[in-house]
Structure 1
């Protein structure tokens, strides 16, 4: 048994079919392989004997691999350079978001539903930097929504901060390291972070926060070049030229409630830092 639910054909009403689709999404099946079904058990009418394989030259594979590596590196460098040029030319957050959404140098764009850039108030003293959109964020085009977003809002409301506050002193500006959802909610790759980084640096520059919360491993990788949120959390660092506090993301706290105690300590540390800056 592979753990998947089984049903007779006469049991597959609309409710059961929807439950099966939801189960597939939970297992990470969110992209169809083909547009039409294919019976892989149906043999062709005639099987031709395989042609004898020619013996490869001893150095063919290593040479081909070596030739491909510089080409891939050059392509990544070109995409990063294009992202840097587009980001530098943006004079406002609105222009930057438009340039980033139109940018085709990141493959994630092809599989995502919505561009998920930012939420909250530009000019807020605190900027929250998350990792990448999940399914809820991909559906709504806003960072930190769904259960994780509700948890985040409750966390920061406890120290008097909110994404919908009109007061910059009490507001939050929220964004993601990547603005396109990775398939199956996998972790962003190093190349994907590198291509997104020029837009992120410019976004932080234009938003102008006093403090940054690095909420997750991808955020820490982008901000300080390190991962290991369990080890880094609670320690003030410098990221993007500003004081930054790594924190565990709300999705982790939902799955591990005892960790909320440490998260509360981090929130108090953030509140103290804000109070010191106000003096």
Structure 2
């Protein structure tokens, strides 16, 4: 990865946040008798990464109603902010809009946003976003330099896509990926893994895929990492897998 985050770039609050992530990930001592690289692959170790070629995807040209999709990222963002022709659209509903730079080193793609996410107007909100930022900083990435998006702008807890909605959602997000042009892609959870790679998160983890030529990995959605559970070391291994691609 280019231009990795350095300690001198952190504010005190950011440094404390980074320290909180290392504690959550299992670092419990400042110095050990034997050196240990906490940025090496976590334990339990996932299967050795295998470069798996996902079938090439055709770039979509039209959204659900047949109108032409925007051809620049700025125009696409405006389309997501204003259009009624989007998966799970509901009049007056809050929208979780993507953020981050074009050609980012890493794009994070999560599933259907929660009401908390849409209330904050972003794909990952609340404590889940705070945790995500800590993970990115621990990997040497500035969170504001990651491109972050969701499968759809609208919340839909417990919602299942119809076949038509699924196709529309896939076309829309593939168009966004093409315009955002990230160097690497990390899919967060079962929904994006199934929709874009055709397999569940459980089997897609631990190996590199290629989606439209972009190195792609899969990991747990941030909300699944909140609290005391054993997923954080696995998620850390997934993050190291894609950042090292």
Judge same fold: TM > 0.5, yes or no: yes
Offset, 1:125: 1.5
Q: Find out whether 1:181 has 2:161 as its counterpart.
A: no
Higher relative contact order (CA 8 A, sep 6+): 2
Match of 1:249 in 2: 221
Q: Find out whether 1:221 has 2:203 as its counterpart.
A: no
Offset, 1:161: 1.1
Q: 1:114 to 1:246 in 2, by over 3 A?
A: same
Q: Find out whether 1:133 has 2:101 as its counterpart.
A: no
Q: 1:106 to 1:172 in 2, by over 3 A?
A: closer
Match of 2:68 in 1: 86
Computing the radius of gyration over CA atoms, which structure comes out larger, 1 or 2? 1
Match of 1:194 in 2: 167
Paired with 1:152 and 1:107, the residues of 2 have a C-alpha distance of: 25
RMSD: 2.2
Offset, 1:266: 1.3
- 1:80-132 deviations in whole A, cap 9, x for unaligned? 5535x432xx1212211223444434562216632212022222121111002
- 1:162-206 deviations in whole A, cap 9, x for unaligned? 232xxxxxx210001111111xx2244153332122221121111
Paired with 2:227 and 2:233, the residues of 1 have a C-alpha distance of: 14
Paired with 1:255 and 1:111, the residues of 2 have a C-alpha distance of: 34
- Classify the secondary structure of the residue corresponding to 2:103: coil
Paired with 1:216 and 1:111, the residues of 2 have a C-alpha distance of: 27
Q: 1:80 to 1:95 in 2, by over 3 A?
A: closer
Which 10-residue stretch deviates more, 258-267 or 113-122?
113-122
Gapped regions of structure 2 (runs ≥ 5) = 1-61
The structure in which a higher percent of residues are helix is: 1
Q: Find out whether 1:264 has 2:244 as its counterpart.
A: no
Instruction: Tell me if structure 2 keeps the 8 A contact 1:86–1:99.
Output: no
Q: Find out whether 1:108 has 2:88 as its counterpart.
A: yes
Offset, 1:252: 1.0
What TM-score, normalized by structure 2, do the two folds share?
0.67
- Classify the secondary structure of the residue corresponding to 1:120: coil
